[in-house]
Structure formats: structure tokens, C-alpha cells
A and B are shown apart, each in its own frame.
Chain A
Amino acid sequence: MDLALTPEQRAFREEVRAFLAASLSPKLRRGAALTSGVFAEPDIAREWQAILEAKGWLVYHWPDHAGGPGWTPVQRWIFEKECAEAGAPILPGMGLKLVGPVLYTYGTQAQKDHYLPRLRTAEHVWAQGFSEPGSGSDLASLRTRAVRDGDHYVVSGHKIWTTQAHHANRLFALVRTDPHVKPQQGISFLLIDMALPGVTVKPILSASGDHELNEVFLDEVRVPVSDRVGEEGQGWSIAKFLLENERGGSSFAPAILADLARLRTSMGPLTGELADRAVRLQLEAEALEMTELRTLIEIEHGAAPDPRSLTTKLLASEIRQGVEALAVDAFGLAGLQLPVERPFYGDAMPTPIGSPEAQVAAARYLNARAWSIFGGTSEIQLTLIAKAALGL
């Protein structure tokens, strides 16, 4: 057993480091550091996506047959770790991490040829239309109907919590194509052009004041049957595949550790309880990093994912929430500012009291509460873990 990187892996790490040092402008770093939501703001994300695509590293986690660079799990991890330490923007995952893998796994050749290149150039920006007002944890109860009419489905329904739908022009959605079978069996997976008549997006403001979330209303939207991924009724299996990527597709710990280190610089020396909390969070994040590494090293050596991989999103949520709460406390009264202007790095921002990191702390704390809700709540995760890891 050993944890050391091979000489090739070390050389690879140097290559990544050099690329990041050369490509991450101060603007990109600042934009990333002062992002209050989960994903980088569109201006920052677009710029960074174009740089990564030009280098050939945008879809670093895709297999080579799908256009990825053919990296091993450990190489991907090295890349993620270096990006986190360099403070690179977090790109929205709905296209790259969620629908991309669905398309290269389940899509027809025509779908791959049409959608994958456009995803990479950001000509298509994707949103995820799974949840509905009545169907959150119980996703299989979803009611959006898709009725076949010749070469089209006529889709009507109401999606909610659709992250960044207001920036997107494509929606991937779960719809009910057969109301007469078991709920899971009647679901299909559709790609919906948001410019089609009948698609309406309505904003939902978060408690932080950020606009990340939306409702999407679908009113007799005519979607070509050729934009269904997989077979009719296969939507639930595809969704399960996608959710596994959403919860465990990449490592969480590197970003948490890097953010904690950056915060510790801006917070200054901590004493007493705050110092104690910082140490605990650091330890939890280090343990999580090792847990994530164990799983991906096993996968690299050909083993099937261990159920322990189910724990990472849950743990990452808790640690992330702890880190953002620590920041609020460490910045004192200055950590309780919450301007309404967005984004936090723009010229429109009022002068911060303390530091820009203090100014963004409360918004980040509030938005981090969502970590234990999106992509499956922590309660649902614990139930899955009890079943899969312990057989309960």
C-alpha cells in the first residue's frame, strides 16, 4: 500500500499547475472567491469554460470515446484538487456533469453528434427539470405529462427549483409518458428546447437574495420524439444514473479544504471556540478527502464503487455548512452584512465593511443550507446508506 503519486502523476500535476497559473486571471480568481451561490456566475463561468475547452480539459471526467482526455480516476482527482487550490471557478454541472454523461451513455449517435459539441462550446446551457412542487424527495411521483402526438410529445407540467433556468436554453426533464404503470416505469427523459412555445420561467429568490432558482412552466410544449433519451419508460433508470453522478461524480473535499485555507487567511488568527471549530472542520475535511480517495483508487484498480461512496455528499454538506458558519462567526458584525446587489465582485457592490470575504459570508452561509437539500436531502441519503452499506 502507498499513497504516493507516481512520477508520471507528479509530472501531470506540474502540468496542471502550470496551466492554472497561466490561465486563471485575477478576475476569474476574484469572481470565484466572491461567488455566493453553488456555481460561478455566468460571466465568469463562460470565460473559464472557453479556456478549459481550448486546452481540451473541459470534459476531463468524460471517457475518451466521448471526447474526454482519457484520464484515470486519480488524474481527475489531481486536476480537481489543483483547480480547487488555485481557486478556479466552479462550473455549473447541469450540462457537463449531469446531462453530458447521460447523452454519451444513453443517447443515439445523432443526439451525441448534435448535443455534445454544443454543450462544450456553451452554445447550449442546460438546466435540470426533475423536481416538481409535489415531487421532491418522492421524485417518482412526478406529474408532468408527455402525450404522444405523431412525431412529438405534447408536454405540460410544472417544474420547480430549476437552478439557473434563467440562464439556460435547454432543459432536460423527467416526464410521465405512461400514467397506467408503476410510477417508476412510466417516466421518460426528454431534452427540451426552452425557446419552444409554452415554456415559461419564473424566478424564485433565495433567502440570501440570490437568484439561482426558478419555476419552469410547461404548457403544451411540442417536443420532437427524437429528443427523448433512451426508450420510453427508461427515464427512471437514466435519472438514477444521473443522480449518482450528481451526488458522487467528483470529489468534494478538495474544494472544502481549499476554501477553508483561504478563509483562514482572510479571517486572521482564531482563538478559543473558533480555533477549535476550525480544527474540527479541517479534520473532517481531511477524513473526507481520504474517504473519497479510497473509493477512487479502488475504482482505478477495477473494483466496483463501494457503498461508502454514498456518504460523501452527506458529509460534504455538513462540513461545507460548518465552514460557512465559521466564517460568519469569525468575521463578527462585518460577517452579517448582506447587500442586495449582485454579483459580489461587480462594480455595483457597496464598499465592504471589513473585507470582501466578510461581505459575502452571510450570503454564502445562507446558500450553503441548501447543500443538505439539493440532489437528495440528507435524510434521504442516510436512508440510502442504511440500506446499501448496512443492509437495513
Chain B
Amino acid sequence: MNLALSDEQAMVRDMVRRFLADRYDATTMAKGPMSPDDWRALGELGLFALLTPEQAGGLGGGAAEVMIVSEEMGRALAITPLAEAILLCGRAIAGSAAAEEWGDRLMQGDALLAFAPGGALVDGRLRGSAAIVRDGMDAAAFVVETEAGALMLVDGQDSGVRRTPVRLVDGSMAAHVRFDAVQAQPLTVPAGMWAEAQALAGLSIVAELVGAMASLLDLTVDYVRQRHQFGKPIASFQVVQHRCARMYTWLEQSRSLLLKAALAEEEARVRAVTAARAYIGDAALKLAEEAVQLHGGMGVTDELAIGRGLRRVLLLSRLHGGGIAARAALAA
């Protein structure tokens, strides 16, 4: 057993960390979605190719790479479509002709794919709607999972695609998408690939949450050291110390479950990711709430990364049914 990063993995982590550190600090973190230019720049650095399977022309990085990259994104509280566009949709198109049309553009950060659950095929055409499609306003195409469970690709240019913007709590833009007799191209997903895609997307989200937890804790510890009330740093009050210490235990427990999920053998991965989701989402939200509380009034504003971080954590921790759905799955 070995928990150290390989040289290549450390390089990836350092590259992402440097890239994000140039763009984000406490005043810019989670202020809004990452700009298309920055996203493209990450694509040019080869990051998305690294996380894409070889069948789709990528470099086939695995769960550990997903964890490393996502945790850095979370640490910077960067708001990106990584989990769904790259990990979920990127794998959904891997075995189909769609990979030729979209794969390169996706990996270069030139085009976004969004995941849209909803709609049904009627006479060969897709009809219906997907209520909230993350990044659905910007998506060039949609990977649709129909009500019958089939995966299809829909070009965003199709005249039957109607989008209405829906702003989400982290400031990202989703879309309510209606499909009005839209042409949909069936996707052939290699066996096991879809389950793996979902597991990796889930892993990416919990890794982002762990990164965000680490940042929120760091920012809070800095703040309580520097904020004075009653003539001394509030960090000198034992209550404050204990609460920070408790936050630290949540972070470390979360990191443990994250590592366990990222390093699980493939057959154990789905359960390990579910277990991580079952714990980390709630731990992250509790930690973010404590960070707000220890910042007093400053915590509830939009001015600090703390309040905005709470919004990002709320969204990530509640996706796909959040911890509640994950715990129900484990109990079943």
C-alpha cells in the first residue's frame, strides 16, 4: 500500500494548482463560473484529455487523476462543468460516431456537452423536457438520458431545442430544456462505461467538496486568528478552537473516504463512491456552515469566499440526490 502521488500525478496536481492560483484568491473564489477562456486554457494544457478514456481519444487517466484534479478545482472554489461535461458526457460518447464529432472539441475546451435527463422518443424523435440541465445554456450538445434509460446525443443547434435560463445557487447557469421533435442520435456506450462514468463524476464532486472544505477551514483559521473581539483574537476562545478542531476532523474523515473511493478496485468503486457521497456532502455543508458562523456578519455576505463557498458546497453536496440518496442506496 502506498498513498504517495507518483511523479506524474504530482506534476498534474502542481500544474492545476499553479493555473488556478494565478486566477483565484479569496476575493475571486466562487465569484462566478470559470470563464470560457480559462476553460479553454485548461483544455490546451491537456487536462481534459488526461481525464478522457483512450477509446475517445484521451489519455485514459483514472480515478486517482480525477480526484487530484477535482480536489484542486474545489480548493480554488472554481465553478466548472468538469464532472458532467468531461467525465460523464465525455465517456457517454466514447464508443460512438459522436466521439469523432465532439471528442476533440470537448477535450480542447472548445465545446461543452451537458447532461440532460428527460424526454422520450416518439416516432424516432425526442420530445419532452429536462427540468434543470447544468450548464445547459452554454452547451453545444446534450447527452440525453431518456425516460426509458437510453443515451442519445442531441445537437444544441437543432431548431426543436428550447432553452430557458435557470440560475443555480452557486451562480452557475442551468437551463430548462425542451425537446420539440428533436433529432437524437443513439449513443453506443461500451459495457461498464456508463456506470464508470457515473462513478467518476460522483468521485469528482466529492473530491471538489474535500478541496472546498480544506479551503474554507484554512480561511476560517486565518480569520479567527486575525479577528479581535474583547481585546483578543477570537481564536483564543476555547469554543472557537474546539469548533475549528471539529471542522478539521470532518475534513480528515472526508478525505479518508475520498481516498478510499479513488483507490478502490473497479468492482468496489461504485460502493466506495456512494459511501463517500453519503458522508462528504453533509460533512462539507456542516463545515461550510461553521465557517460562516465563525466569521460572524462577514460570513453571510457575498464579499468573502466564505459565503460564496457555502453556496457552491450547497449545490455540489445536493446533486444527484445528495447524501440522502447515497445513504438510502447503501442501506438498500
Contacts and interface: CB of A to CB of B under 8 A. Distances in A.
B324 A272 contact: yes
B311 A207 contact: yes
A206 interface: yes
A243 interface: no
Given A274-B324, A332-B321, A369-B293, A337 B167 contact: yes
Residue among A134, A209, A332, A334 with max Cβ neighbours from chain B (10 Å): A332
Interface of B: 131-132, 164-169, 171, 176, 228-231, 237, 239-240, 289, 292-293, 296-297, 299-303, 307-308, 310-311, 314-315, 318-319, 321-322, 324, 327-328
Nearest to A271: B328
B164 A213 contact: no
B107 to A, nearest CB: 28
A279 interface: no
A204 B303 contact: yes
Contacts of A372: 293
A161 B103 CA distance: 50
21 contacts: A137-B229, A137-B296, A204-B301, A205-B302, A205-B303, A207-B307, A213-B297, A213-B301, A272-B328, A273-B324, A321-B289, A336-B132, A338-B167, A350-B167, A354-B131, A366-B169, A366-B310, A370-B297, A374-B297, A377-B296, A379-B237
A47 B176 CA distance: 36
Given A207-B308, A328-B314, A337 B168 contact: yes
Contact of A336 (B231, B292, B314, B327): B314
Contacts of A136: 229, 296-297
B296 A373 contact: yes
A369 B286 CA distance: 12
B77 to A, nearest CB: 13
- In the A-B complex, the 9 residue pairs with the smallest Cβ-Cβ separation, listed nearest first, are A207-B307, A138-B229, A338-B169, A362-B169, A205-B302, A138-B230, A161-B297, A333-B132, A370-B300
B198 to A, nearest CB: 16
A328 B318 contact: yes
Given A334-B131, A337-B169, A366-B314, 11 more contacts: A135-B229, A136-B229, A137-B296, A138-B230, A205-B301, A272-B324, A336-B169, A353-B166, A366-B311, A369-B310, A379-B237
A131 interface: yes
A351 B310 CA distance: 25
A213 to B, nearest CB: 7
A329 interface: yes
Contacts of A141: 229-231
Contacts of B307: 206-207, 366
A84 to B, nearest CB: 24
A213 B315 CA distance: 24
A373 B293 contact: yes
Interface in A30-50: none
A335 B228 CA distance: 37
Contacts of B168: 336-338
Residue among A134, A135, A160, A206 with max Cβ neighbours from chain B (10 Å): A206
A131 B169 contact: no
Given A138-B229, A336-B168, A373-B293, A209 B302 contact: yes
A337 B172 CA distance: 10
A135 B168 CA distance: 34
Given A339-B167, A377-B296, A273 B311 contact: no
A351 B262 CA distance: 40
Contacts of A350: 164-167
Given A353-B176, A369-B310, A206 B131 contact: no
A273 B322 CA distance: 12
A1 B171 CA distance: 55
Interface in A315-368: 321, 328-329, 332-340, 350-351, 353-354, 362, 365-367
Contacts of A378: 293
Nearest to A277: B324
Contacts of B311: 207, 338, 362, 366
A378 B168 CA distance: 30
Contacts of A273: 324, 327-328
A84 B59 CA distance: 60
B169 A373 contact: no
A205 B311 CA distance: 14
Contacts of A370: 297, 300
Contacts of A321: 289
B131 A131 contact: no
Contacts of A160: 297
Contact of A340 (B164, B167, B230): B167
Given A161-B297, A205-B301, A206-B307, A329 B131 contact: no
Nearest to A333: B132
Nearest to B240: A379
B131 A333 contact: yes
A73 B307 CA distance: 39
A263 to B, nearest CB: 17
A373 B315 contact: no
A160 B319 CA distance: 35
A329 B303 contact: no
Nearest to A321: B289
Contacts of B297: 131, 136, 160-161, 213, 370, 373-374
A135 to B, nearest CB: 8
A160 B301 CA distance: 12
A353 B324 contact: no
Contacts of B327: 273
A382 B297 CA distance: 18
Contacts of A382: 239
B293 A207 contact: no
Nearest to B228: A134
Contacts of B164: 350-351
B131 A353 contact: yes
B301 A369 contact: no
A338 B167 CA distance: 6
Given A273-B324, A377-B293, A207 B166 contact: no
Contacts of B239: 379, 382
B252 to A, nearest CB: 24
